[in-house]
A = this chain, B = another copy of it.
Amino acid sequence: MEKIKGLIDAPFTPFYPNKEVNYEIIPEYASLLARNGLKGVFINGSSGEGYMLDEDERMKLAEAWVKAVPKDFKVIVHVGSTCVRSSKRMAEHAQAIGAWGIGAMAPPFPKVNRVEELVKYCEEIACGAPNLPFYFYHIPAFNGAFLSMYDFLKAVDGRIPNFAGIKYTFESLYEYNRCRRYADGKFDMLHGQDETILPCLAMGGAQGGIGGTTNYNGRCLTGIQTAWEAGDLEKARELQNYAQDVIDVICHFRGNIVGGKRIMKLIGYDLGPNRTPFQNMTDEEEARMKQELEAIDFFNHCNK
């Protein structure tokens, strides 16, 4: 199965001020991402507030993205939900409209405590799109599924034909590397934390990854891999350090979904508010964030 090379972006879902989905802005958004070196999008995931959307909105967003992206720009549709039948329908739909791949995280409810439960969940969804690669999205901090991914790979191997790999959004580079080495690298281990691309590359991983701060800091993040491959370690470190500086800022403003989405507005792409229960930033918070970003000269670094 093809392995992803380079960085995929996890876009925010654009809303109008009344919190209805803004499909209009997507072509422009897609252009920005392609221009900055991203290789595709992983839509309706955590950055995209996928769980806050209904099934119909999620399908329409998938259609909008598939239609908007340039040639060879991958659209991976996150179809995970707490209702596996709904997820399967979204998987079928993704395949029908020509998406490149699908993905699903573990459901946050009920909390998944056994590898077998997770395999079953993925199996029922993945079979809805048998021609597309299926990625499991591991983000246990969000859904409590602190399971061994190595044991999960063993359980999945040979059982889900279109299982492609894992979007690994967790701190353990040790487990990441064990999974990467599983069966001589059989599965595609997409690195999922923008703050550690360089160390992961050094270990042999991070050939492909999915980013969240790539929405507004894409050239910096894609540049890490370029510099590493060119043997320019100093440049790679400088870029990785700068990526961390930007992440520091959003951590002061409730993270990427809230703070990061607001950065988009500051660079000219107003993607609107977050849906409830996210607590939107106040104007005062926005002003403070802008100052913090100016202090690291962000607006001359980021790429619009």
Contacts and interface: CB of A to CB of B under 8 A. Distances in A.
Contact of A202 (B178, B199, B241, B276): B199
A195 interface: yes
Contacts of A248: 178
A181 B241 contact: yes
Interface stretch (A46-54, A60-68, A259-267): A46-54
Copies of this chain per assembly: 4
A142 interface: yes
A112 interface: yes
Given A200-B199, A278-B117, A111 B240 contact: no
Contacts of A142: 109-111
B51 A277 contact: no
Interface centre among A82, A171, A198, A247 (most CB of B within 10 A): A82
Interface in A58-88: 82-86
B203 A240 contact: yes
A10 to B, nearest CB: 15
**Chain A: number of interface residues, binned into ranges:** 35 or more
A303 interface: no
Nearest to A141: B111
Contacts of A292: none
A116 interface: yes
A53 B203 CA distance: 38
A257 B174 contact: no
A114 B279 contact: yes
Contacts of A275: 83-85
Contact of A52 (B19, B84, B233): B84
Interface in A217-261: 233, 237, 240-241, 244, 247-248, 257
